[in-house]
Structure 1
Amino acid sequence: MTETTLSRCPIAHAPADAPPVPAHVPPELVLDTRFAQGQIAYDLPDPYLPSDVMRDPEVPRILYYPWPTSGRQHGAWTVSHYEDIRRVYEDNDIFSTEGAAQFQALAGETFPSIPLGIDPPDHGRYRKFLNPWFTPVAMNDMEPKIRAIVTEMIDAVVKDGEVDIAYDFGRIFPVRVFLNLMGFPFSMFDQFLEWEYAILHNPDIAAKAEAVKGILAYLRGFIAEKQANPDETLGSYIANGQMDGQPLTADETIGMTWFLWLGGLDTVASTISQMFRRMALDTELQARIRANPEIINSAVEEFLRVQPLVNSGRRIKKDFTWHGVDLKEGDWIACINSSGNFDEKQFACPRDFDPERKNNRHFTLIGGVHICLGAHLARRELRVLLAEWLSRVPPFRLKPGADTTVIPGLLSIRNLPIVWDTKAVS
């Protein structure tokens, strides 16, 4: 391992206070890779840079991460190379999503997160049921509402010359879109984010479980209300849904509603915060996109690639040996997308931000049949925001003294004040 790589982020053996690991895990593979799991904050221009060490030729292709991951109370094997990650996402004969994002198990719940926690072929039935709400055609219908929310929010701040783009804009805009889509009241906004923060970031298992209980009690009440008073929202569609001529079961209804709630609150919000951070730090990039609005779509794809928020996991369905490591049925394996998205064998000059990059097949929105259900919605929100912001707000920069620390994952930046010259506002 080169001295440069080691100095950037050394990989040490897991400390003595790390959780125990299964007996079949070789001790030499139990390493402290929390720096690549979104557990450590950075002030680097590229906060995902430390993950490059995961692909160093002297680092084993498969490691073991002993801390809880993906809503589970146990550790997981990890893979960090693009081809290995792709195999995990695409090989449904060996890798299962059963138990993925199963935070509800912390509260004693047994229903799956749907559709993520369902394997093919049943997975396809649930995707077919939900897909009409998330197709490009559906996004065309939604775009006027998305644009109206964006322009209203921009109009409210553009003459002020500054905004906390993370807390007062990025945190709110996509959630307003999601709440409207589902039919959730905006009055629940702060409580929703409080619950989600506890579920995703509080290390205390009891606190996570309490938050899960709170949101599930609310969602079950929401479902009952939509069943009593149906409307045109996605929440009502699920609450009153049928598949193959049969009403959804209670587990299916809560499984879908819960999973959409969990995934709909912060992915785009975190992407927005990091996107604006990068543009504020790189004024040439900001100017390039402003001058060439036709590259906004590809620029959004590159923002997604360089900001991989989630390292998704799978359950191993049968014993097998991979890269010389014996993996056992029931083991969990996590894909370090924060490494795979920068694999030199897949992306030319991967650390360069290229807003016109072609064939940008990254894993930020996962891959295989379980690719993010809301991928088209996320992309549309980001494209509309970028187009409207850059056409209506003058060049911006970080407010002097702004903290640019990032936790490279979900809910990654709490506050990021940016400023611009109000004299340039048209």
Structure 2
Amino acid sequence: MPQSRTLDDIRVDYEAPDNVPKDRIVDLSFANGSEPNDLVDPYEPFAWLNSEDIPRLLYNPPMRHGLGAISGNQRGNWVVSHYADIERVYTDNDHFSNAGTAEFQRLIGETFKSIPLAIDPPDHQKYRLYLMPYFSPARITRDLEPRIRKVVTEMIDAVADKGEVDMAWDFGRVYPVRIFMGLMGFPEEMFEQFLDWEWEILHSGDLARMQAALRGVLDFLRAFIAEKERAPDGHLVSAIAHGRIEGRPPTEDEKIGMVWFLWLGGLDTVAATIAQMFRRMALQPEIQRTIRERPELINGAVEEFLRTQPILSSTRTATKDFEWHGVQVRKGDSFQCLNPAGNFDPARFDDPRTFDPERKANRHFTFVGGVHICLGAHLARRELRVLLEEWFSRIPEFRAKPGADTTVFPGLLSIRNLPLVWDVKT
């Protein structure tokens, strides 16, 4: 059973800014994916945070460990955990800004922006229009799906007769990155180096290691962009380098800003989703039986896996002073949208903790929302759909390997190893 907590249990004594009511100051570190559990629904411990009796604005003190401490960010943040409030933060561009989001490059003194993620309207639109054609459903169907299906069938066929695979390390970690590297035109021999750099940046929590990885990847990306400027090819980095933004060529900062952002976003999120998706099906086999018997539900099942496995909780910054839910918000205040609560809000989803592949109007926040909705959402969905289609046509009912540790961090850290087994026909 999930650990039982109440608001009183998580209240902390902290000298917050004077616009923060004392009774709103809580420690929500447990809800940010850093506390593992072994529940079938690993997000269940956060269920109560969207209850009607929970204040609509909570305040989380600054992190004393991890990136907050490393980057010198000693400010806390408001936390919104109800669907309607998360929706406002994601869509109200007059009051909430995305500037500065995920700009790890600042740790080594870089000043370019992560594009388009950290760009607000109206400039956001020109960058999104620049990149979106490469991630449109039509482009994915025409140019990427054949490669997606080829890669996934090769990987499944390689393990089908073995009756066993580490779905997290040997499959989920590899499959989406192979697709991403092919899209961008990156050399295959950089695969392990990319994953090492990404792990150091996002998960090491060590400033020196993060800085070394940042220097390594940015040096590589700048050299790769320069190479494509000299020798264009048919891949995305080359297209970015040789494209035009509103009739002009992109600046050097714009080129590295776009390629860096795509690199950072293309390596981890789908891998974490795959690991959690197959863990859920292994622990709750009726889900895989339903999908196997009714493959027409695959699209709906993918959306439900996404809803019930929100990998990230995004942040925004207040652009002005205003009052909200009886609290005075100040310009510069930070807001975190707690997607693991919002995606299960009973005010928006009927029977929210039940996995329902036939759920209608499944407008979850796993890909965020508003103008900053994930650029790669269509690609991620296609990768997951093709994976389920080909998996269930080749692999019988599977289960966690006896004795395997199925503990999961409910978030981006997810699960590093997930050994699955199935019965092979002889």
If the length of structure 1 is used for normalisation, what is the TM-score? 0.94
Q: Which 10-residue stretch deviates more, 353-362 or 220-229?
A: 220-229
**Which deviates the most, 186-195 or 226-235?**
186-195
- The within-5 A match list for 1:115-194 is 115-141=116-142, 142-194=144-196
- Name the residue aligned to 2:411: 409
Partner of 2:362: 360
Q: 1:2-59, CA deviations, whole angstroms, 9 ceiling, x for partnerless residues? A: xx9982566644667x8x7545433432211112111211111111111112123333
Whether the 8 Å CA contact 1:164–1:418 is kept in 2: the answer is yes
Change (3 A) 1:236 1:209: same
Q: What's the counterpart of residue 324 of structure 2?
A: 322
- Give 3-state SS (helix, strand or coil) of 1:423's partner: coil
Match of 2:373 in 1: 371
Q: CA deviation at 1:110?
A: 1.5
SS at the partner of 1:372?
coil
Change in Cα spacing, 1:33 to 1:192, as seen in structure 2 (3 Å) is: same
* CA RMSD after TM alignment: 1.9
Is 1:111 aligned to residue 100 of structure 2?
Answer: no
1:280 paired to 2:282: yes
* 2:38 paired residue among 7, 23, 43: 43
Amino acid at match of 1:112: K
Q: Against the structure 1 CA distance between its residues 298 and 22, is the aligned structure 2 distance closer, same or farther, given a 3 Å change threshold?
A: same
Q: Secondary structure at the match of 1:78?
A: strand
CA distance in 1, matches of 2:304, 2:242: 38
The secondary structure found in structure 2 opposite 1:231 is coil
Q: State the distance in 1 between where 2:8 and 2:48 align.
A: 8
Contact 2:11 2:24 in 1 (8 A): no
The Cα of 1:215 is off from its aligned counterpart by 1.4
Percent of matched pairs sharing the same residue: 59
Runs of at least 5 residues in structure 1 that lack an aligned partner in the other structure = none
Instruction: Map 1:171-320 onto structure 2 (within 5 A).
Output: 171-320=173-322
CA drift at 1:147: 0.1
Deviates more, 1:21-30 or 1:148-157: 21-30
Distance 1:67 1:187, change over 3 A: farther
C-alpha separation in 1, matches of 2:339 and 2:6: 17
Q: Is the deviation greater in 131-140 or in 4-13?
A: 4-13
CA distance in 1, matches of 2:160, 2:17: 55
CA contact (8 A) 2:96 2:319 kept: yes
Report the residue type matching 1:114 in the other structure: I
Letter in 2 for 1:373: L
Q: In the aligned structure 2, how far is the partner of 1:57 from the partner of 1:321?
A: 20
Q: Is the 8 A contact 2:11 2:23 kept in 1?
A: no
Q: CA deviation at 1:383?
A: 0.2
1:116 Cα deviation after fit? 1.0
**Partner of residue 53 from structure 2, selected from 43, 58, 81:** 58
Distance of aligned partners of 1:44 and 1:9 in 2 relative to their CA distance in 1, 3 Å threshold = farther
Distance 2:312 2:394 in 1: 31
Between the aligned partners of 1:421 and 1:300, the Cα distance in structure 2 is 25
Tell me, in whole angstroms, the C-alpha distance in 1 between the residues paired with 2:321 and 2:67: 21
Shift of 1:351: 0.1
Residue matched to 1:7: 4
Deviation of the 1:208 alpha carbon: 2.4
Which stretch shows the higher mean deviation, 167-176 or 403-412? 403-412
How many residue pairs get aligned? The number is 419
Seen in structure 2, the aligned counterparts of structure 1 residues 147 and 129 have a Cα distance that, compared at 3 Å, is same
Distance 1:70 1:54 in 2: 24
The residue number in structure 1 matching 2:352 is: 350
Q: Which structure 2 residue ranges, 5 or more long, are not aligned?
A: none
Partner of 2:95: 94
Letter in 2 for 1:320: F
Task: Give TM-score scaled by structure 2 length.
Answer: 0.94
Residues 397 and 363 of structure 1: CA distance in aligned 2, closer, same or farther (over 3 Å): same
| Cα pair 2:12 2:25 within 8 Å, conserved | no
Distance in 1 (alpha carbons) for counterparts of 2:283 and 2:5: 21
8 Å CA contact retained: 1:160, 1:422 = yes
Alignment check: 8 A CA contact 2:317 2:332 kept: yes
Residue among 63, 67, 84 paired with 2:62: 67
